[in-house]
Structures are given as C-alpha cells and as structure tokens.
Amino acid sequence: MVVSACLARLKILGCGVALGWSAIACAPALSSFTPAHVPAKHHVQAEAGFDISVPSNIGDLIDDGVILANGAKNRELTDEERRRLFRDGAALALNPPSPVTHIGLGFVPVDRFEVNGRLTSGAWRLGGRYQFLDLVEHGIDGTLSLGGGRYSYELPLSAQIPLLELSDFSRWQLDSSFLLGMHGNWYRWWAGPRALMSFYGAELTFKQPAAGGFPEEKVLASLDGSATYLGGQLGAAVGYKKVFVGFELTLAKFWTSAELQILDSKSDFDVDSFIVYPGIALMLEL
C-alpha cells in the first residue's frame, strides 16, 4: 500500500514537472532574415537580432494546466487529466511565448550558392541556399534553402528534487524555405512559404538506493514525438549598400504528435496551434 501510494504521488509529480519543463524551454527559430538573393561569389552575409514567438492558444494551455496542477495538490489525477497536463506541458515546451536571439553568417564559395550557419537561443543550425532566379535576368530574385540543426537544454531538476533526474530536452529539426523578392542599394524585400520539421524527446527518471520495494532506478515518464510547422514569411530591410535593418513576420500552423509514457501506461496525443512570429535584425552584406 505504501509503495502504491508513493508511485501515485510520483505520477502526479511527473505531471507537474511537465509545466516546469515547459517554462524553461525555448521556441524554435522560425525566422531566416535572408533576402531572396545570394551575394556575389566570395562575399559574406551576416545577421543578428531577436524574434518573439507567440502561440495563439497560449492562454487556454496555461489555464488548463494551472487548473489541473492545482487539483493534483488535493487528489490523484485521473489518467485523462494526466494526459491533458502532459499535453499542455509538451505544447508549451515546444512553443513557449519567448524571445529568441540569433546570429547568422553565410559565405558564397561559388556563384549563386551560399553555405551558412546560425546560432539561436540554445540551438545551432547549418544549411545552404541556392539562387535559381536573378533580378537582372528574370525580373525577380528567387532562392531555395535547406538546413538542419539541434536544440538542447539541460534541465537542473535534481538540484531541487534529489530523487528525480530529467534528461536534457533535445530537439532535432529540418527546415526549408522558398523565397521570392527584389533588392537594390537601399532596400530588400522577400516573401514565400516556410516549413520546419522537429523531432524531440525527454525522460524523467526516479532514482533511489534499493529499499522498501523500490527499484534503484525507474523511468517515471518519457515523452517522444515530432512536430511540423508550415506557413509563410514576409520580410523587408532598409539601409544602404552593406548595412540594413530588417523586419520579418512568420505565420505558421503547428502540429505535433507524441507518445507519452507514465510508468507502465502509454498514450498518444496530438496538439495543434497557430504561431505568430515577428522579428528584427541587423543585416550585413560584405
């Protein structure tokens, strides 16, 4: 009976951790701040700035999570309530309302092709862009980009709760965009569709020396899944020749499908939302 009661409390604690975990996660960088043209061969393009991620259903997720977390203080949550709490926490972990800083650098080794790298809040990305339409030849610029990266955050749960260890929240992602636009000495503008796929996971482990029927180590909860962002972006920059200030707005529909395991119980769930993602950056072309 004692063991069962303790495991029940651990189930509730695992649900509460989902909200704490979501509070320190960071949204993926949906911006690009790359115009629709590639600089001349052997030239460099750089950007630095910040964005803000705003999920449209943030209020509903938080309200539902708070109600369930408060209810867990006085009683054991049902399986359906635990599933909802983890669903809310997972949705917030993937898309919390948060600022995202970024700095990027690209180099053009051959005509019309750029290799680039980018550092964002807790993440890195490597990719490339190819310009298939030229303003002089076709009357408009056009580029296709492809990249991949990884986000990881160390979750210091054991410092607050010694018996619990939460593995790093990690997320691998692939992104692609197709941009059309124009550029001149004092301006750039670009627009087009953007897609991003993300694969994520984290694990909550209960650790204790073998005593009282408890194992030395037991996986309390784990979450693994994938997410898709599909939308478009519109950007513009003003300046002169080499230095520009850019503004960009990305709007994306977000879907995620995940498998949640709490002790020996497994369940699948789906979450969707709409993301509003504005940003600003200093852009250089050297």
Cβ atoms of 170 and 143 within 8 Å: the answer is no
Classify residue 186 by its DSSP letter.
S
Question: Phi-psi region for residue 92, left (φ > 0), alpha (ψ -120 to 50) or beta?
Answer: alpha
Backbone angles phi, psi at 72, to 5 degrees: -70, -15
Classify residue 31 by its DSSP letter.
-
pTM above threshold 0.85 = no
Alpha-carbon dihedral sign for residues 145, 170, 54, 243:
negative
Closest of 255, 274, 258 to residue 266, by C-alpha: 258
Q: What are the average pLDDT values for consecutive 10-residue runs of the chain, which has 286 residues?
A: 42 44 63 96 96 80 69 70 68 74 97 97 94 96 97 59 62 95 97 94 66 59 85 97 97 85 72 90 96
Q: What's the CA gap between 72 and 68, in Å, rounded?
A: 6
